[in-house]
Structure 1
Amino acid sequence: MTVQRSPRFAQFTRPGDVTPDLRKELTDCWEDVANAGGAVLATEFPPLPVSTHDVAPVVDGLVGTLHPGRGRLLVATVGGSLAGWLVLRREPHPLGAHCGTVNHVQTHPRFRGLGIGAGLMHRVHDIARDEMGLERLQLSTRGGVGLEDFYRKVGWEEVGRWPGALRIAPGDDRDAILMSLAL
């Protein structure tokens, strides 16, 4: 029997579409990624390590904001298991409503190296442009882990930095790197 190794993608646009099982998978993925050193820490998280108790309410909050015109959850699965996910949001202010923000981009450590992250980024580009009518995407990422190179490879450009804006630990300040993608 052949195990499916290429990702399948699905998007969710309403809170009721996200099943309890998917919420658990999102929580487990985020917990594993964060505790493995991934640059996806929410402001609501305590210092590492995080637990399901810390992550589940944040996932519930994200799911609660889903709406077809304002916020979407994009997931990748491999062999029926959650392999990665991200959130796409339209900027709420009228002056920025033509722009969207991509947050919480993550690939479960078990599925790294399969192109999950790149696949998510290509899909979010199409969804933002074709379904939401957005003209530009933006994100910020943590310096010092090479993520800006990943984003450049999938078409994004660095547009600025906030030097030392992220304090990982005492004496370990990192830049917040601002990235943009014209659609």
Structure 2
Amino acid sequence: MTAHEAVRNPITAQISRADDATAAVRRELTACWAAVINAGGAVVPMDCPLPPVTEAALRPAVERITRDLSPDRSRLLLARVDGALAGWMLLRREQHPLVAHCGIVNHVQTHVRFRGRGVGTALLRRAGDVARDDMGLERLRLAVRSGLGLEDFYRKAGWTEVGRWPGALRVAPGDDRDEILMSLAL
């Protein structure tokens, strides 16, 4: 298979407990995240410097994510191809009763070695299933950075743009981008 051939069925799994996020899994998540950010990905955590980033700079964010995993509130979804981590995302539920029926998708990323092969689409499809069937959610939401074509990717996966925060994200001096708000009814 060439680098650009579609991955027909990446194996997707979920981790819903902190104890199941082994040291090896946390290392894989960190390495993937660093590769994605340094290749121009829009998944920079709030407490991390702007790119380029090191794995050491991302470890606290990965530790926080894995520590907070809970079957009811927060799950990691992983995609693997031939045993390698091909991508991952975080699926969360807010606890406040006004929004507890909605989930939030964060950190959607495909490792640079697997881009353009359907891994992100497989993760999103699995997220909808897990959110609806396992977590009892009725709607998902996410925010993406404009200027990268991400909104088109999500539209193709059934998501709808519901709003924008104009110029909310400053990538560099003179390079402000909209934050695009998207929603998916389950």
**TM-score scaled by length of structure 1:** 0.96
Deviation >2 Å, runs of 4+: none
Unaligned ranges ≥5, structure 2 = 1-6
Q: Is contact 1:5-1:78 (8 Å) kept? A: no
**TM-score scaled by length of structure 2:** 0.95
Q: Aligned equivalents of 2:140 and 2:52: distance in 1?
A: 31
Residue in structure 2 matched with residue 81 of structure 1 by the alignment: 84
Unaligned ranges ≥5, structure 1 = none
Q: Aligned equivalents of 1:110 and 1:136: distance in 2?
A: 31
Q: Does 1:110 align with 2:113?
A: yes
Residue in structure 2 matched with residue 119 of structure 1 by the alignment: 122
Q: Is contact 2:26-2:62 (8 Å) kept? A: yes
Q: Does 1:17 align with 2:20?
A: yes
The Cα shift of 1:6 comes to 3.8
Q: Is contact 1:159-1:178 (8 Å) kept? A: yes
Q: Is contact 1:166-1:173 (8 Å) kept? A: yes
Structure 1 pair 129–18 and aligned structure 2 pair: CA distance change class (3 A): same
SS in 1 for 2:86: strand
> Aligned pairs, how many?
180
Structure 1 pair 78–5 and aligned structure 2 pair: CA distance change class (3 A): farther
Instruction: Tell me the C-alpha RMSD between the 2 structures.
Output: 1.0
Q: Aligned equivalents of 2:31 and 2:56: distance in 1?
A: 11
The code of the aligned residue for 1:94 comes to P
Q: Does 1:166 align with 2:169?
A: yes
Q: Aligned equivalents of 1:43 and 1:109: distance in 2?
A: 22
Q: Aligned equivalents of 1:47 and 1:116: distance in 2?
A: 25
Cα deviation digits, residues 139-163 of structure 1 (max 9, x gap): 0000000000000000000000000
Cα deviation digits, residues 30-62 of structure 1 (max 9, x gap): 000001000111101112111011011110100
Residue in structure 2 matched with residue 90 of structure 1 by the alignment: 93
Q: Does 1:53 align with 2:53?
A: no
Q: Is contact 1:7-1:76 (8 Å) kept? A: yes
The Cα shift of 1:5 comes to 7.0
Residue in structure 1 matched with residue 10 of structure 2 by the alignment: 7
The code of the aligned residue for 2:139 comes to R
